[in-house]
């Protein structure tokens, strides 16, 4: 590490596929959140008795429709989480986008299973934060 003025420049190699530890954290959390969404979807498709059925809800799809939404979104989130291990920038963008969509879906899912939805919203928020923080790991050239 050399110091030039007030800026520090880190001399690193290519770094391989691991861009940062935050990317690894985001990948693991995306896989966890995706698996949880898959379980949520399967449970809703089976019309399990654990869900609260609400009336007069603005996003009132039937439980099976919500199940398919969460199942398909969960599979995509797991795949994006696995792609993050490559360190590709496109995987980061896809991860942020899918985590945002998952947050929206879980926000609309709040009346059906509030605790599970809040946990997945928090996981998605951490994923977005970790993916945004880990972007600037390239050496500075000034």
- pLDDT (tens, 9 = 90+) of the chain, 142 residues, equals 555 555 444 434 444 445 578 888 899 999 999 999 999 899 888 876 666 666 666 666 778 888 899 999 999 999 999 999 988 889 999 999 999 999 999 998 888 888 888 999 999 999 999 999 866 555 545 5
Beta-carbon contacts of 104 under 8 Å, excluding residues fewer than 6 positions away, are none
Contact 33, 127 (CB under 8 A): yes
**H-state helical runs in 8-113:** 21-45, 63-84, 89-108
pTM over 0.85: no
Beta-carbon contacts of 80 under 8 Å, excluding residues fewer than 6 positions away, are 30, 34, 91, 94, 95, 98
pLDDT for position 29 = 93
Q: Beta strands 7-9 and 2-4: pairing type?
A: antiparallel
Question: By three-state DSSP, how is residue 2 classified?
Answer: strand
HSE (side-chain half, CA atoms, 13 Å) at 130: 22
Query: Mean pLDDT over all residues of the chain?
Result: 80
């Amino acid at each position: 590490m050399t110091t030039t003025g007030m800026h520090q420049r880190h001399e690193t190699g290519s770094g391989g596929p691991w861009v940062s530890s935050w990317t690894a954290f985001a990948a693991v959390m995306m896989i966890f959140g995706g698996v949880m969404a898959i379980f949520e979807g399967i449970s809703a498709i089976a019309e399990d008795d654990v869900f609260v059925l609400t009336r007069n809800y603005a996003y009132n799809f039937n439980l099976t429709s919500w199940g398919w939404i969460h199942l398909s979104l969960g599979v995509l989130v797991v795949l994006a989480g696995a792609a993050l291990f490559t360190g590709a920038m496109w995987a980061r963008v896809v991860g942020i986008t899918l985590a945002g969509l998952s947050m929206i879906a879980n926000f609309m899912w709040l009346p059906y299973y509030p605790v599970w939805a809040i946990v997945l919203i928090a996981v998605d928020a951490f994923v977005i934060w970790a993916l945004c923080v880990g972007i600037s790991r390239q050496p500075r050239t000034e």
